[in-house]
Structure 1
Amino acid sequence: SISVQVQSGLNWFNTKLKVNYGKQQASLKQLQQAVRNKSRYVQLDDGTLGILPDAWIERMAQFFFAAEVVGEDLVTPRIHFDAIAQIFTEEELDDEVKESVRHYQAKLANLESIEPVAPPKSLQATLRPYQLEGLSWLRFLDDHQFGGVLADDMGLGKTLQVIALMLLRKEKEASETHLVVVPTTLLFNWQAELKRFAPSLKVYILHGAGRKKDRNEFEQYDVVITSYGTLLSDINYLRYFQFGYVFLDESQQVKNIGSQRYHAVRLLRSKNRLAITGTPVENNTLDLYAQISFVAPGLLGNKQYFKDVYSTPIDKFEDSRRAAELKRKVAPFILRRTKEAVAKELPDKTEQVLYCPMGDAQRSLYEMYERELRDYLEGKIEDEILRNSIHVLRGLTQLRQICDDPRLVNAEQGLGSAKIEALMEQIDSKSVQHKILVFSQFVSMLDLVKEELEKSGIGYAILTGATKNREAVVAHFQQDPGTRVFLLSLKAGGTGLNLTAANYVYLLDPWWNPAVEAQAIDRAYRIGQHKNVQAIRLICPG
């Protein structure tokens, strides 16, 4: 005989489960072990074996993987509310459990059913309606201690929504420190966005040789921002600090569950967790598993269970039933809005700056050339400078080239390029259906980007002043789904082209004349463009 009763606890569901074979009973631990081992046999109290029905094993498998045996009960975190509803009958759930399950299902099935929150008073920005909905969703998860994945398209303001959540937490919690983990190329951008939208928050950048090593000092900051690389280096002391939230930006960086990065972020301690990404799934369902297992540990079972039940059937055999089941399970904890879905709330064209801090070697070379130019100019009167304007222009151009890539001034200077690194991270983070224009004044810079695209197997087209068959190249980019990136020199591609297949424009180097940049952006933003266009300028900060 089998008896089940599910009751409500503080942040969990308690399940009282009894399986009797006559006068003998199977303990919870023995039942859990049998189900996890896919065994039909369970050891009873007297040492004999009982047989478990196949249908019962299949029904209870995901439950036993999610639950923990505590005394005489199976304890299941509330994040498994949907599994509770799927596994157990109405008669097996007490009234409080049924009410909780219905509440979570109703609220998380429809954003509009979540009670809207007022934006934090100290937020120095006006949220668009969909951003306010996103903030309300984040606050709902926060109130119930659920982790989540904010997976809006790039350009919809994920960073702003997260900053607004931080400020709401600040109003609610007097003192706590959040950790934001980002690719190195985004450290400066997060710092700039926090300063712009939430100047009341005290921020520390945990990066570089002189960074703090005493975790107790973090308590004086509201936000600590670090890179994935620094996190890996410092995990042995970061793991012992209790953060408010851990936010993973570009969380696809931990999609490999066998990687050191993944294992490092799993060691972090926090009240809650949020993953931020425009591409939650890049290759297969294991990408999703890695991120969900960070924000909602146990929701999808352990790695082997997920592989057996979801990954292999879906990725290898295209099992639509399992795919629908997985989607239903994770949908409440993933918020994704596309640009098309919120197009009416967006301006037709948006522009932003992506800051790309130079590495030490690249910066040293820049400073050396800068000193040479400054030394040349010192002591010269204006007339002398005007007479030698070509020399001055060459010096300024070299500084711009070093910001792009040191190899533009010296092919032997393999010092790394902050802009190319940032650009490739941006391209990698886009869904394959997005098309991208990349402009540079320097054809040699486009050649370096081309090399990186080829290494990554990303389809591209290129148009410079030397291109003969312009119309064919343009048509190929516009019509071929596999050609995701169009590399264009600013002069050759800046005028006379309609490139409406693209909705992202990257300007690798600023041009002297802003009107020329505007023309380049308008290659994508033309009559016939049905998408919102986002233009991103890559700038090396001083």
Structure 2
Amino acid sequence: MSYKINEGIIEEKGKVVAPEAVFRLGRFSVLSDGIDTEFVISKRPAQIQFVFELAPIPNFTLHFRDRPLDVEQTNALVKYGYFILDEGRICFVSSRINEFLEAAFGDLSLSKLIKLLRTLFQEGLIIEIPSDLIEQLRTNQQKESHHKKLFVQSLYPYQEAGVNWLSFCAENAVGTILADDMGLGKTAQVIALCCDVLEKNPKSKILIVVPNPLIDNWVREFRFFAPSIIPYLHYGNQRRGVVSAFDNYNVIITPYSTMSSDIAMFEEIYFDLALFDEASMLKNPKSGRSLSARRLEIGVIVAMSGTPVENSLMDAWALSDLVFTGFLGTEKDFKSTYVDSNIADTLNKNLDELENSLRQITLRRMKKDVLKQLPERLDIHTAVSLSEKETIRYDLIIDEMKNDAANGAGGILPLINKLQQFTAHPALLDSSISRDVRTLKANSAKFELLILQLDKIANAKGKVIIFATFHKAIDLIQGAIKERYKVSPGIIDGRTPNEERQPLIDDFSASNGFDVLLLHPKTAGMGFNITAATNVIHYSRQWNPALEEQATARAWRNGQEQVVNVYYMFYANTIEEKIDERLRLKQQLSERVVSVTDDKETDKQIMLAYLETLES
């Protein structure tokens, strides 16, 4: 037999010898430069190392025994599964390595590249993966988001960077987790992403799935950030059960419960982009809502969660597998590799590889990372959607007020008090409602949102002060916090003796981890220094804006060294929304002095003016 080597390939009579035939040769002679040279087939698979480089373009080089293979050796190995060493040896690789070679040197999308790099690293075939792979690729390609025609507000620099990152991922069909810290504006960033997607393709369909209480808030956020985009709300008894209802809309907003119940309808549509707000609601992969989400036909998924890992590493697997199926392996394999029944044993594992993998598809910035870009105080106004049951009860109270107003408004003040109790929680008016957390959430959308927010603060081991008006509401919240978080919040209201108030604040300030103080805005809204809290929740809205300003100043004052999140919760399309608008107006006109009074006549005037708007 007369064999020759041509560009690193074994040939016989001018034809390439099949790799399996080469492997069977054992020892054989090759005519090289007119001289017969003996070659030997190495029977042991060669241990190849992959080296990944980003510049000038993403590419792999191959190494054997710490020496790089040249172009001929690389081409032969990729195409035929062997390469020739100078010392007369021909080395083959295993079928598993051949699969990796085919992937690495084939048509490699970004999602396939990310998955391949992780697999190579896990198998010890690559030493290092860039932790900021996506951002480096985006920068090298000079890719930026195109959202500024539809998005009318300004973003902080870190938010612009976030939108650019999300845009690059979406363009390359890589699902991601947006896990920025609370208050850093995840909603603004994903709305800018929606604008980017629609500017690139105006026919795109976008699905946004949210917790029930946040439906109206999302509509208001679109109105503020991208007013030309009109979302379609799909929820409630009046919703249409046909796909054609979505025909004239690019953005569809629906709650998790409706997505699950109408999944047969939703899976008929292809969505270019899907956003899952408060995606920790999908952390149980076997829940009905998670199974429904996985039935949807989606181009790219973004999961929004300030707490991607709440109780277990399985939370991270569930969200990652939702946005990027298979990236972290199967649930069974992930659990056996990383999760122990004893959390201490889990922490003792080497989690560096997992953390690096998660960073590839997760964008997480903490306040401390972007502190210089932030104001000292973040005001977060959240519109809460009344449930259908709550809407009926609210309308009944409003009807009572209308009747009273028509007869001289002599009884309007007690009715205002009744309305304020209702917006705190229907249980204040209905003693038959059980006080357990599950029931309280089911009967009040605002309370459900409160618990959702407290879950995030508790997970971050933050401290929060909550302002509520009625003693019954304060007690109800305290009981729920005890049940859910095993924490006993201090209470400062009219029932708290003066000598006990400062010690409660001192205990709160000295405590470690998650803690809560429940305060009445009039009793504890002035005079106290509570800078240990970096979160303030106005659960019961004050009809006098100055009261809320002074209450917020308990945490946001001299001595506070961190950014303070101030959450204002109000029911959409109710008197509470009018109150919220008054507060925002006051903040915009800060030169104007608003006196702190307890003027029930002013409350009466506000209410009567509101009732007049309902008649028009």
For the superposition of Structure 1 and Structure 2, which TM-score range results when normalised by the shorter chain?
0.7 to 0.9
Of the three residues 450, 453, 468, the one matched with 1:423 is 450
Q: Name the structure 2 match of 1:481.
A: 512
Matches within 5 A, 1:23-172: 77-86=112-121, 106-108=133-135, 115-117=143-145, 119-172=147-200
Equivalent position SS for 2:339: helix
**Match of residue 409, structure 1, among 404, 429, 442:** 429
Among residues 489, 503, 509, which one is paired with 1:472 in the alignment? Answer: 503
The answer to whether the aligner puts 1:397 opposite 2:406 as a matched pair is no
2:542 to 511, 516, 533: 511
2:401 equivalent among 353, 363, 373: 373
Report the equivalent of 2:322. 294
The one-letter amino acid of 1:288's match is A
Task: Quote the Cα distance in structure 2 between the aligned partners of 1:510 and 1:332.
Answer: 42
TM-score, normalisation: structure 2:
0.71
Separation of aligned partners in 2, 1:151 and 1:528: 29
Q: Distance in 1 between matches of 2:483 and 2:263?
A: 31
Is 1:266 the counterpart of 2:294? The answer is yes
For residue 400 of structure 1, give the secondary structure of its aligned residue in structure 2: helix
Relative to structure 1, the CA distance from residue 338 to residue 202 in structure 2 (aligned partners, 3 Å threshold; closer, same or farther) is: same
Q: Which has the higher contact order (CA 8 A, sep 6+)?
A: 1
Residue 165 of structure 1: CA displacement?
A: 0.7
Cα separation, partners in 2 of 1:458 and 1:422, compared to 1, 3 Å: farther
Count of residues in Structure 1 that have an aligned counterpart in Structure 2: 472
Provide structure 1 residue ranges, at least 5 long, that are not aligned to the other structure: 15-55, 69-74, 93-97
CA contact (8 A) 1:313 1:322 kept: no
TM-score by length of 1: 0.80
What is the letter of the counterpart of residue 474 of structure 1?
I
**Structure 1 residue 110, shift from structure 2 partner:** 9.5
Q: Distance in 2 between matches of 1:424 and 1:126?
A: 30
Shift of 1:250: 0.5
Superimposed CA distance per residue, residues 89-128 of structure 1 (whole angstroms, 9 cap, x where no aligned partner): 98x9xxxxx9xx9899644469977754454222121011
Q: Paired residue for 1:277?
A: 305
Q: What CA distance in whole angstroms lies between the structure 2 residues aligned with 1:237 and 1:281?
A: 31
1:255 corresponds to 2:287: no
| CA–CA distance in structure 1, aligned partners of residues 112 and 508 of structure 2 | 49
Q: Deviations over 1:115-143 (max 9, x none)?
A: 54454222121011000000111012122
For 1:29, the equivalent position in structure 2 comes to: none
> What residue in structure 1 maps to residue 266 of structure 2?
238
Q: Distance in 1 between matches of 2:368 and 2:130?
A: 30
Instruction: Describe the superposition over 1:200-227 as per-residue Cα deviations: whole angstroms up to 9, x where unpaired.
Output: 2231111111112112432321111111
Question: 1:540 matched to which residue of 2?
Answer: 571
Percent identity at matched positions? 30
Residue pair 2:467, 2:520 contacting (<8 A) in 1 also:
yes
For the aligned residue pairs, the C-alpha RMSD in angstroms reads: 3.3
- The structural deviation recorded for 1:426 is 1.0
* Contact kept in structure 2, 1:246 and 1:273, CA below 8 Å: yes
Distance 1:395 1:88 in 2: 69
CA distance in 1, matches of 2:189, 2:131: 22
Are the counterparts in 1 of residues 173 and 299 from structure 2 also a CA contact under 8 Å?
yes
Does the 8 Å contact 1:149/1:274 carry over to 2? yes
1:395 maps to a residue whose letter is L
In the TM superposition, what is the alpha-carbon distance from 1:313 to its structure 2 partner? 9.0
Letter in 2 for 1:400: Q
Does the Cα contact within 8 Å between 2:144 and 2:167 map onto a contact in 1?
Answer: no
Change (3 A) 1:248 1:458: farther
Q: d(CA) in 2 for partners of 1:216 and 1:374? A: 39
Whether the 8 Å CA contact 1:439–1:506 is kept in 2: the answer is yes
**Comparing 357-366 and 292-301, the one that deviates more:** 357-366
Alpha-carbon separation, structure 2, partners of 1:206 and 1:328? 38
Whether 1:228 and 2:259 are equivalent positions in the alignment is: no
Q: What is the rounded CA distance, in whole Å, between the counterparts of 1:102 and 1:283 in structure 2?
A: 28
Deviation track 1:254-293 (CA, whole Å, cap 9, x = no partner) reads 1112222221111111111110011111111001000000
